[in-house]
Structure 1
Amino acid sequence: MRYAVTLAPDDNGTILVTVPDLPEAVTFGKDREDALARAVDAIETALMGAMAAREDILAPKSVDGADYVALPALASAKVALYQAMRAEGVGKAALAKRLDVALPQIDRLLDLRHSSRLDAIERAFAALGREMEIVVKAAA
Structure 2
Amino acid sequence: MDSFAYAAEFEPGDTPGVIVVSFPDVPEAITEGNGMADARLQAEEALGLALLSYPARGQPLPKPRAKGKRLSLVAVAPDVAAKLAVIEAFVSAGISKSELARRMQKDEKEVRRILDPKHATKLPAMVDALRALGKRLVIGVEAAA
Q: C-alpha deviations, 1:31-88, integer Å up to 9, x for none?
A: 1111111011111111121121121114433623221212222321221111111112
- The 1:86/1:58 distance shift into structure 2, 3 A limit, reads farther
Partner of 1:114: 120
Cα RMSD, aligned residues only:
2.5
CA contact (8 A) 2:83 2:121 kept: no
* Structure 1: tracts of 5 or more residues without a match: none
User: Is 1:32 the counterpart of 2:39 in the alignment?
Assistant: no
Which of the residues 106, 111, 123 maps onto 2:128? 123
Pairing of 1:3-42 with structure 2 (within 5 A): 3-13=6-16, 14-42=18-46
Point out the more displaced range, 34-43 or 4-13: 4-13
Residue number in structure 2 paired with 1:69: 74
Offset at 1:92? 4.0
Worse overlay, 35-44 or 73-82: 73-82
Structure 2: 5+ residue stretches without partners? none
What SS class does the counterpart of residue 7 from structure 1 fall into? strand
Q: Is 1:105–2:110 an aligned residue pair?
A: yes
1:116 deviates by 0.9
Alignment partner for residue 57 of structure 1, among 50, 61, 77?
A: 61
TM-score, scaled relative to structure 2: 0.77
Structure 1 residues 39, 97: closer, same or farther in 2, change over 3 A? same
Quote the Cα distance in structure 2 between the aligned partners of 1:44 and 1:138: 19
Runs of 4+ with deviation above 6 angstroms:
none
Range with bigger deviation, 79-88 or 107-116: 107-116
* Cα distance in 2, alignment partners of residues 107 and 41 from structure 1: 24
Identity %: 29
CA distance, structure 1, for counterparts of residue 121 and residue 56 of structure 2: 18
CA distance in 2, matches of 1:97, 1:54: 24
